[in-house]
Amino acid sequence: MYENINEELLDFLEQSPTCFHVIANIRKALKDAGYEELTEGRVWNLQEGGKYFAVRNESSVIAFRIPRKDFTGFMIAASHSDSPSFKIKTNPEIAREGYVKLNVERYGGMLMAPWFDRPLSAAGRIIVQEDGVFKTKLVNVDRDLLMIPNLAIHMDRTANEGHKYNAQTDMEPIIAQGEAGQFMKTIAEACGVKEEDILAHDLFLYARGRGTVWGINREFISAGHLDDLQCSFADLKAFIDSESTDSVPVLAVFDNEEVGSGTKQGANSTFLEDVLSRIGDGCGKSAEQMKAAAASSFMVSADNAHAVHPNYADKADPVNRPQMNKGIVIKYNANQKYTTDAVSAAVFTQICASAGIPVQDFTNRSDMPGGSTLGNISNSHISLNTVDIGLAQLAMHSPYETAGTKDTAYLAEAVRKFFSVSFRDEGQGMWSLK
């Protein structure tokens, strides 16, 4: 069913240089599939059989269908729209030694070394005021615009012995020679507005160039933003392609996972809780009925996972060593950085088995702490049975990452199957899929 998914994924990645572009592209896909956009600031009138979505901050989205108003629960697939990058500061230009550089700061925990010596550009959003209304306009300067050149080996003979980068002094990209005052003019021209009309901006650097499929057997795919847009894209495809059941299918794509999710549009916000509550209100559910529905709900928190690295094999757990193209990775952590437990692992493994999708397991080395993700953060607002999963990849948090060409289709098919079932809390330590 997903034979051409890698080329579609590469198209999606190329058109999604920032979280704002990600959500704009998801919005378009949902509208093309017949979904109605709801506004959080207005009353919702939900209909049985309706297909809806809501956007928050233009960087997060939650979509859902109402198969029937007496639904039993929610089947939720969650991922995130943001990736580590450099955010362009306000008043960004620095004129020095005949060059114009941009003043940037790190967003998220990126690998900094791969940002050197590659063409970069700027993208994001600006805010303008038209007819008394503040409006978002997306911008992508679609050309090679900036670069962060390395220092020559002759001036740093120890460069190959390891280097600690200073984000303020080492990572400022060059944009021009001459005088300052050109950058915001370039942004305005790319948006088709006057420079003085730009009231504020959220702009980021991104690495230029379309991703590629490579390897002797074309088994690898490399591009920027695979973490986590590979999962977001697969979840979106599955959501649109899936059929309704007794449960409400929900697609959630949150912003700001890379910086802790503690924003109004992050997984640690009220966004998911608000949407589920409004679905309940729109379907006539009482507070008691909504608590029962939450108990019979399930979330798949999808955020990419680490493949064992052939050059650094000792960094992986002795036993749980995921590989690219070997299936979906179920992630475990004793300290609940990942929410997977015996129940959610068993349920998700069975869903994958029924779809013919292979699974594998990931744990960190016991002496090496890992990062957290969406599942446990979302559960602080609405408690759901949740499994943390991902697709195995290399070079996570580089501006150019690598994954397997089979795995996007694996996830899309597994999530499509996930949306076709309902999860039930049967009580007394028993659960079922129907």
DSSP character string of 63-131: EEE-S-TT---EEEEEEE----EEEEEEEEEEEETTEEEEEEEEESS--SGGGTTS-EEEEEEEEEEET
Per-residue pLDDT at 211: 97
- Of 326, 38, 92, whose CA–CA distance to 205 is shortest? 92
| Class of domain 5-83+224-433 as given by CATH | alpha beta
Measured in residues, the chain has a length of: 434
Tens of pLDDT, residue by residue over 359-391, are 999 999 999 887 778 887 888 888 899 999 999
Q: Is the pTM of this model over 0.95?
A: yes
Tens of pLDDT, residue by residue over 149-185, are 999 999 999 989 888 999 999 999 999 999 999 999 9
With tokens 């089979």, the residue in question is: 406
Question: How much of the chain exceeds pLDDT 70, in percent?
Answer: 100
Alpha helices in 221-270 (DSSP H): 226-241
- What are the beta bridge partners of residue 347? none
CA atoms within 13 A on the CB side of 333: 20
Tens of pLDDT, residue by residue over 269-320, are 999 999 999 999 999 999 999 999 999 999 999 999 999 999 999 999 999 9
Per-residue pLDDT at 93: 97
Task: Record the tokens describing residue 259, joined without a space.
Answer: 């910086």
pLDDT above 80 (res 262): yes
The CATH number of domain 85-207, selected from 2.30.250.10, 3.10.180.10, 3.40.50.12280, 3.10.20.30: 2.30.250.10
Per-residue pLDDT at 350: 97
The answer to whether the CB of 93 falls within 8 A of the CB of 180 is yes
Per-residue pLDDT at 3: 80
Q: Confidence band (pLDDT; 50, 70, 90) for 33?
A: very high
Cα–Cα distances (Å) from 38 to 35, 49, 60, in that order, read 9, 15, 13
Residues forming CATH 2.30.250.10 domain(s) in the chain:
85-207
The answer to whether the CB of 305 falls within 8 A of the CB of 331 is yes
CA atoms within 13 A on the CB side of 309: 12
Q: Which residues have CB under 8 Å from 125's CB, separation 6+?
A: 18, 20, 58, 136, 137, 138, 139, 201, 202, 203
Calculate mean pLDDT across residues 108-114: 96
Residues forming CATH 3.40.630.10 domain(s) in the chain:
5-83+224-433
Cβ neighbours around 281 below 10 Å, total? 15
Calculate mean pLDDT across residues 67-90: 97
Run of H or E residues at 374: helix 374-378
Per-residue pLDDT at 368: 86
204-208, 219-223, 255-259: the lowest-pLDDT one: 255-259
